[in-house]
Amino acid sequence: MLGVLRSKVAFRANHAWGLEQGLRAIASRAFSSSTKETMTVRDALNSALDEEMSADPKVFVMGEEVGEYQGAYKITKGLLDKYGPERVLDTPITEAGFAGIGVGSAYYGLKPVVEFMTFNFSMQAIDHIINSAAKSNYMSAGQISVPIVFRGPNGAAAGVGAQHSQCYAAWFSAIPGLKVLTPYSSEDARGLLKAAIRDPDPVVFLENELLYGESFPVSAEVLDSSFCLPIGKAKIEREGKDVTITAFSKMVGYALQAADILAKDGISAEVINLRSIRPLDRAAINASVRKTNRLVTVEEGFPQHGVGAEICASVLEDSFEYLDAAVERISGADVPMPYAANLERMAVPQVEDIVRAAKRTCYRSAALAATA
């Protein structure tokens, strides 16, 4: 309950407010909040697509199985019936092909939403994403803009092995010209997908398969069809004063769980849901670190050149004097994802890893525990 109220306050993008002020603000507005509506991330994405397609006839959806099959993960359910085959295109199996076609149609003024069945398959189209979509506006001196959205599940699922489990946030976020978004909750999913579709720049929208079925509370504001979240702004999911934990996508849930465990040990953790990896909300991260003086970055992806590395660099550059401890990076193991369930568990960050890292930054554990 408290978490829900906090998230409403944070949505106002003013994370410096204390809980008391937040409560007063809520009480002063007439919220019909007697029944807490919840929505799955899947429905959030589906409704966002539906509303944006309805509002702008130039928006269309393209990908494998998005039409007749209702979407490999049912994200595009019902869209074919509602908008017809000209706006919901089932494509042949060629990521390079349909990414190229999407970019071409965006060159000429349509607004494609291209679905990759998972972002692992986006590697077969990566030339179109980087060399054509990301760089075109710059290389054509502003003559060719590419208002395209590439979306799909990213990162580890459960028991799908190495070629289906890689996280691409760090790779795509290295490219100037792209925007990279990583929603966590249903509110994130709705707001960020709408923002992505409306944005004139190419956006890589990294979802998470395991989050599709999770339900989150949504306010009336979130359900409104004009709802939109700003790109490049992180969200303080939970306020704290002892250690900052940054996370994105599924790891936000783990970080929140870790924060609960830490609270019992008297450590108040501030959890930042990054929401946007490029542009990264360096201001929010640094402001938080200046408050707590300790940082743990969490991500599912490979450790080298990961998102955590960039956050560490940013904090070192801007808030070096404020750090009371070395930054801890929690990431996936530096191995291709194994299949066996026990090994897979060892290769992905778990809540306990985050808890131990936070404790290390607070000098609560004797030595660096031998984590996986």
Partner 1 sequence: MGSWFARSRSIPYLLKRNISFLHANSSCKTLPPYKSPHGFRERPPASILSFRRLESAMVGKQAQAVAYTDDDGESQSIEFPGGRVGFTTQMEFISEATDKRVPCYRVLDDDGFPIAGTRFDQLDEETAVRMYKSMVSLQIMDTIFYEAQRQGRLSFYLTSTGEEAINIATAAALSPDDIILPQYREPGILLWRGFSIEEFASQCFGTKDGHGKGRQMPIHYGSKDLNFITVSSPIATQLPQAAGVAYSLKMDGKEACAVAFTGDGGTSEGDFHAAMNFAAVMEAPVLFICRNNGWAISTPVSEQFRSDGVVVKGQAYGIRSIRVDGNDALAVYSAIRAARMMVVREQKPVLVEALTYRVGHHSTSDDSTKYRSVKEIEQWKRSRNPMTRFRNWVQANGWWSDQEEAELRGTLRNQVLKAIQVAEKAEKPCLGDLFSDVYDKLPSNLQQQEKSLRQTITRHKQDFPPDVPL
In 3D space, the residue among 164, 341, 213, 185 whose CA is nearest the CA of residue 274 turns out to be: 185
Binding positions for partner 1, 233-292, rule CB under 8 A:
279, 282
Residues 196-235, one symbol each (x = binds partner 1 by CB under 8 A, - = not), give ---xxx------------------------------x---
Looking at the Cβ atoms of 176 and 266, the one nearer to partner 1 is 176
In 3D space, the residue among 144, 126, 132, 172 whose CA is nearest the CA of residue 278 turns out to be: 172
User: Of these, 110, 156, 195, 243, which contacts partner 1 (CB under 8 A)?
Assistant: 110
CB of 1 to partner 1, least distance (A): 35
* Of 15, 164, 237, 344, catalytic: 164
For position 179 contacting partner 1 by CB under 8 A, the verdict is yes
For position 100 contacting partner 1 by CB under 8 A, the verdict is yes
Cβ(245)–Cβ(194) below 8 Å: no
Grouping H, G, I as helix, E, B as strand and the rest as coil, residue 71 is coil
DSSP letter assigned to residue 120: G
Size of the site for partner 1 (CB under 8 A): 44
In 3D space, the residue among 122, 218, 227, 225 whose CA is nearest the CA of residue 169 turns out to be: 122
CB of 167 to partner 1, least distance (A): 23
Binding positions for partner 1, 124-153, rule CB under 8 A:
127-128, 131-132, 136-145
* Of 95, 207, 209, 299, catalytic: 95
For position 96 contacting partner 1 by CB under 8 A, the verdict is yes
Sequence-distant (≥ 6) Cβ neighbours of residue 325 within 8 angstroms:
293, 294, 360, 361, 362, 363
CB of 153 to partner 1, least distance (A): 23
The amino acid sitting at 160 is V
Whole-number Å distance between alpha carbons of 307 and 259:
21
Catalytic status, residue 221: no
Looking at the Cβ atoms of 60 and 302, the one nearer to partner 1 is 60
Grouping H, G, I as helix, E, B as strand and the rest as coil, residue 135 is helix
Hey, CA dihedral for 231, 249, 103, 110, is it positive or negative?
negative
Catalytic status, residue 164: yes
Residues 56-95, one symbol each (x = binds partner 1 by CB under 8 A, - = not), give ------------------------------x--x-xx-x-
For position 105 contacting partner 1 by CB under 8 A, the verdict is yes
Q: Which stretch binds partner 1 (CB under 8 A): 10-18, 39-47, 97-105, 257-265?
A: 97-105
User: Of these, 83, 107, 119, 216, which contacts partner 1 (CB under 8 A)?
Assistant: 107
Sheet holding 111-115, edge to edge: 88-90, 59-63, 111-115, 149-153, 203-207, 179-181, 276-278
Whole-number Å distance between alpha carbons of 21 and 268:
19
For position 163 contacting partner 1 by CB under 8 A, the verdict is no
Cβ(118)–Cβ(154) below 8 Å: yes
Looking at the Cβ atoms of 137 and 246, the one nearer to partner 1 is 137
Instruction: Report residue 231 as tokens.
Output: 């790109």
For position 103 contacting partner 1 by CB under 8 A, the verdict is yes
> Cβ-count burial of 176 within 10 angstroms (0-12 exposed, 13-18 middle, 19+ buried)?
exposed
Residue 266: CB atoms within 10 Å? 9
For position 101 contacting partner 1 by CB under 8 A, the verdict is yes
Q: Which stretch binds partner 1 (CB under 8 A): 73-81, 104-112, 183-191, 289-297?
A: 104-112
CB of 110 to partner 1, least distance (A): 5
Interface with partner 1 (CB under 8 A): 86, 89, 91-92, 94, 96-110, 112, 127-128, 131-132, 136-145, 176-177, 179, 199-201, 232, 279, 282
Q: Annotated active-site positions, please?
A: 95, 164
